[in-house]
Amino acid sequence: MKNTIFTFKDNSPKYKQIYEKFKSFIEQGDIKADEPLPSIRQLADSLHVSRNTTLMAYEQLVAEGYIRGEGRKGYFVNELEPLLFQEARSSSTHKQTESVPPVRIDFRADVVDQSHFPLKTWRRISNQVLTEKDSFRYGEPFGELCLREQIAAYILQSRGVRTDPNAVIIGSSTQQMLLYLGLVLKHDFSSMIVEDPGYDGAREAFRLNGFTLETLPVYETGADLSHLEHMKSRLIYVTPSHHSPYGVSMPIQQRHALIRWANKMQGYIIEDDYDSEFRYSQKPFPALASIDSARVIYLGNFSKSFLPGIRLTYMVLPELVLHRYKKHFTHFESPTSLFSQLTMAKFMQLGEWNRHVKRMRLVYKRKMLHLVSELKKQFGQNISIIGEQSGLYVLIKLHLNRSEEWFIQRAFSYGVNVCPTSLYFIKNKTDHPIIKLGFSHLSCEEIGLGVGLLKKAWM
């Protein structure tokens, strides 16, 4: 074995540092198979450590299969498959030498504004909740009653949805709720209508439950409901208040037509109302569930409007579906945090939720207007802006003879991260690439800088 020099660091136990050094030598081939290692005493003397320290290092190497002990003969290196470690070294070297430009501006759409988050208020309420007895138990399987009561009151006031708190189900995410819901519905339904383009996460949840998917075409001006006449499915998943991704809202005539279709087919509409709070030109539209609660399964969440990491989603179920859902999942534990539920319930009860939504609507409106203004100033007629009336992102259709991948890579080379939209489309493809720009977490200065960099990258 080659002469080894150890330089011990203060932030890790010495036995662990010895173990890691020998492990590295063996993986890199510096110590060959069947080569003997120094005895415990020799190694301890040379490193000026106790014998117990070197013994612990060797025992760890033995336990993981790197070396073996042969009685009085000592310790020897085991034979290892070299390919694994060669590939790991090659990959590591490649990553180190590959030049990756730093991201200066990130137009991602899955974050919220940190600077206006009510941190002190949320922390104060969280600390209060932690002193309460209810925080030290397992949660109710369908969500805490205190939160379900607050949600029922909120969606009545904001979305016109009248429901009993017992019909509200609390979950961790839209996909989780759709997976559970699909397990219940697939006993009576085998296929599902989804929007095209539409939320890809919902499609994957439906596919995982074995649903056959039919597609309803949606355009920048809205959905084409005439296609429903030729479809066999009796279930449909829609985002009527803020279509994903186009951002268009379904007019009242289409909402009534969709309700009539559901009643005629004896089916259900799954209404995903994922960020209805942020509409900038008019008040938020009433939900589909406010028109007919018997045929609409209503979903909402706190991720887009409050905090993605809180993992709180809710669902309002019609009576028949509710009965079956509870029968299926009575013996399952709640998939979301009890602590988050209790804190959010108190947050809403104290009026902080409504104050937060009103405040953020103004903040996001200002950012939206600034982004749209900068895009028009920098790109003019070379782009079309889609979805500027609501939501936390805009789409830009680029009237340039390039691919979506080219636009994304060029932007990245200038330190700007932008999002694709091709993942939303199934058959209803567009004539020009469409790029998604989220703005919620960016300042107006960052938005201006980002759009300027995109101009340099693309024009």
The residue segments making up the domain with residue 360 are 105-114+356-458
Q: Does 2 map to a domain?
A: no
Return the pLDDT at 324: 96
Residues 395 and 367 in one domain: yes
What per-residue confidence (pLDDT) applies to 4? Answer: 54
Looking at the domain assignment, is residue 365 inside a domain? Answer: yes
- Residue 324 belongs to a domain: yes
Structural domain contains residue 304: yes
Same domain, 347 and 362: no
Nearest to 57 by CA among 97, 119, 117, 8: 8
- Give the CATH number for residue 379: 3.90.1150.10
How far is residue 449's CA from residue 443's CA, in Å, rounded to a whole number? 10
Supply the pLDDT for residue 87: 52
Cα 73 to chain centroid, rounded: 56
Residue 5 belongs to some domain of the structure: no
Q: 318 and 218, same structural domain?
A: yes
User: Phi first, then psi: what are they for 313, rounded to 5°?
Assistant: -130, 155
Spatial separation of the C-alpha atoms in residues 218 and 194, rounded to whole Å: 10
Q: Assess if residue 174 is contained within a domain.
A: yes
Q: Do 340 and 361 share a structural domain?
A: no
Which of 97, 131, 163 is the C-terminal boundary of a domain?
97
In a domain, 430, yes or no: yes
pLDDT in tens, the chain (459 residues): 545 557 787 778 888 889 988 998 888 888 888 999 999 999 988 888 999 999 999 999 998 889 999 888 899 999 887 545 555 555 555 554 455 668 899 999 988 999 999 999 999 999 999 999 999 999 999 999 999 999 999 999 999 999 999 999 999 999 999 999 999 999 999 999 999 999 999 999 999 999 999 999 999 999 999 999 999 999 999 999 999 999 999 999 999 999 999 999 999 999 999 888 888 877 767 899 999 999 999 999 998 889 888 999 999 999 999 999 999 999 999 999 999 999 999 999 999 999 999 999 999 999 999 999 999 999 999 999 999 988 999 999 999 999 999 999 999 999 999 999 999 999 988 989 999 999 999 999 999 999 999 999 998
Residue 367 sits in the same domain as residue 447 = yes
220 and 127 in a single domain? The answer is: yes
* Residue 274: CATH number of its domain: 3.40.640.10
Same domain, 281 and 374: no
DSSP states of 101-115: PPPSEE--SS---ST
pTM of the model: 0.79
CATH code (residue 57): 1.10.10.10
Residue 7 lies in a domain: no
Residues 131 and 168 in one domain: yes
For residue 268, the cross-strand partners are 235
Domain boundary pick from 351, 382, 409: 351
Same-domain status, 320 and 401: no
On whether both 292 and 366 belong to a single domain, the answer is: no
Single out the residue in 63, 97, 131 at which a domain terminates.
97
Structural domain count of the chain? 3
Do 85 and 93 meet the contact criterion of CB atoms below 8 Å apart?
A: no
Reduced to 3 states, what is the DSSP secondary structure of residue 327?
A: helix
Q: Are residues 41 and 70 in the same domain?
A: yes
- What is the distance between the alpha carbons of residues 270 and 430, in angstroms, rounded to a whole number? 26
> In the chain, how long is the greatest CA-to-CA distance?
88
Both 54 and 133 in one domain: the answer is no
